[in-house]
Structure 1
């Protein structure tokens, strides 16, 4: 059987929004280099030795943890037998794109390490599905509601830090307000609507905002009644990222009390996707959910 042509293996589909996301590009390019290395019958240590890389540099590049320089990309592609000049040049163009600064870097002062993977990749997703048992999902919050949630959290934050966290959440929302942004499917536990977060006026404005968002074609909102969420047993906040490109594995972000888990392990991702499927099937329809929101607003 003839060996696979490494030039064909380098083929990348049109990337769309992903091309604007340096973190996603690093993961895709690293994955392509990993495939080429495996096809060449080499392990990462072999590559490090042959190219004079520092220990584990090849692995870090393949995992998207280390930005790949043009000179490193050329050396790797040459070692793997890629010689199609047009495809090499396209790959190098994407390498340059991947080395741009991510927008969220300017929020490093308030961005926790465990939260960074979600913020870095959510705008590259084709679809975002999220369930929240305690608060309105962050991507649907008003600034005043966000401020109230942050101030109610653990620890004492200075006013400047609170403001920066509110700004970060607003910027995340703006990233998802582009023409080719992901579809957002949000499910909110019914108990969330019973909590008057930030006071009556803040809650009224938040309910009005949710009602307005339901008119957007890229937003689907469902309310999960108490008996439904109890039966399905999600129990914690979950966000699932679905990517259009097979080169990016789907991911889930799972919230805990003081930290979170972000994983792309297929078995775990599938478990949470199935759980969200069951919850969505049992939750109120968008039309019924709109009625619940309107009723809650009239009572608030």
Structure 2
């Protein structure tokens, strides 16, 4: 048997859009360190003790909740028996990239903690699948429609807070303009078309925008008739993030009124993926959805 290449990459390549996403890189780096630790037969407590780390530091790094410093990464790699100049250099390069500031941190004044996981990772996804029962999905909203949705939400917001939230949503949408943008597949409940948000002019412009977005090769939109969503039993909006890399697990985000559920547990992710598959199979085709949008515009 040939000896393993000491300089072989520790990561799945190429990383693509993930390379520009510090949050995703933290998860990848942490996941790889967890794999190396398990292979070395060590517990997190053992590592903390051997390296003089504070309690639970190893676990926080592995979960992507704690940025990994280069000096810590070197110590961990040495403890786990990782050698090879190129392997170590590549790992440290990703560690360094993972410590860059995320673009969304400039919106921390209006970004809720429960919304952060989705905003942080959606740009790194290879595919975004979403179902919305009440509103047009955020990535497909016009600024005026977004403003109307935010103003109708819970609590009283000052005008500058509303504006900042609109800007945040527009910044999220710009990720769809990148060369390595995710593929977006959205299913919208039929009731969304009937719900006039922001008045007739705002709603008409929003439906026009949906038609324009459907001309993009990386955007797919389907309308789900009311009997379809009743039969599938969705009940709430859900966003599924599909990552192209084996180093990053797929994720599901479910938003509630004042909090959210974000999970990368395979069983839960699979259940929602199956639900979205059923919705897509039963909803109107994209061509039929275009016809439904145009028909609704004529009645506004």
TM-score by length of 2: 0.97
Deviation at 1:25, TM superposition (A): 0.3
Tell me if 1:213 matches 2:216: no
1:119-268 aligned within 5 A: 119-268=119-268
Q: Distance in 1 between matches of 2:66 and 2:171?
A: 25
Asked if 2 retains the 8 angstrom alpha-carbon contact of 1:136 and 1:192, the reply is yes
Deviation at 1:257, TM superposition (A): 2.3
Q: Distance in 1 between matches of 2:73 and 2:153?
A: 44
Q: Distance in 2 between matches of 1:181 and 1:27?
A: 20
Q: Distance in 1 between matches of 2:15 and 2:203?
A: 39
Cross-structure match for 1:281: 281
RMSD: 1.6
Deviation at 1:5, TM superposition (A): 8.2
Figure out how many residues of one structure are paired with residues of the other and give that number.
Answer: 300
Deviation at 1:12, TM superposition (A): 3.7
Deviation at 1:247, TM superposition (A): 1.0
Deviation at 1:7, TM superposition (A): 6.2
Cross-structure match for 1:292: 292
> Unpaired runs of 5+ in structure 1?
none
Q: Distance in 2 between matches of 1:80 and 1:299?
A: 66
Asked if 1 retains the 8 angstrom alpha-carbon contact of 2:11 and 2:247, the reply is no
Q: Distance in 1 between matches of 2:110 and 2:287?
A: 37
Tell me if 1:76 matches 2:79: no
Q: Distance in 1 between matches of 2:229 and 2:126?
A: 26
Q: Distance in 2 between matches of 1:245 and 1:30?
A: 15
Tell me if 1:106 matches 2:106: yes
Give the secondary structure class of the aligned counterpart of 1:223: strand
Tell me if 1:45 matches 2:25: no
Cross-structure match for 1:34: 34
Q: Distance in 2 between matches of 1:254 and 1:51?
A: 38
Q: Distance in 2 between matches of 1:197 and 1:129?
A: 23
Cross-structure match for 1:87: 87
Deviation at 1:140, TM superposition (A): 0.2
Asked if 2 retains the 8 angstrom alpha-carbon contact of 1:11 and 1:87, the reply is no
> Unpaired runs of 5+ in structure 2?
none
Give the secondary structure class of the aligned counterpart of 1:114: helix
Deviation at 1:8, TM superposition (A): 5.0
Deviation at 1:38, TM superposition (A): 0.7
TM-score by length of 1: 0.97
Give the secondary structure class of the aligned counterpart of 2:177: coil
Cross-structure match for 2:55: 55
Asked if 2 retains the 8 angstrom alpha-carbon contact of 1:31 and 1:247, the reply is yes
Question: Deviations for 1:182-231, whole angstroms, at most 9, x for unmatched residues?
Answer: 00000000000001100010001000000101100000000000100110
Q: Distance in 2 between matches of 1:14 and 1:112?
A: 32
**Divergent runs of 4+, >2 A:** 1-12
Deviation at 1:175, TM superposition (A): 1.6
Cross-structure match for 1:24: 24
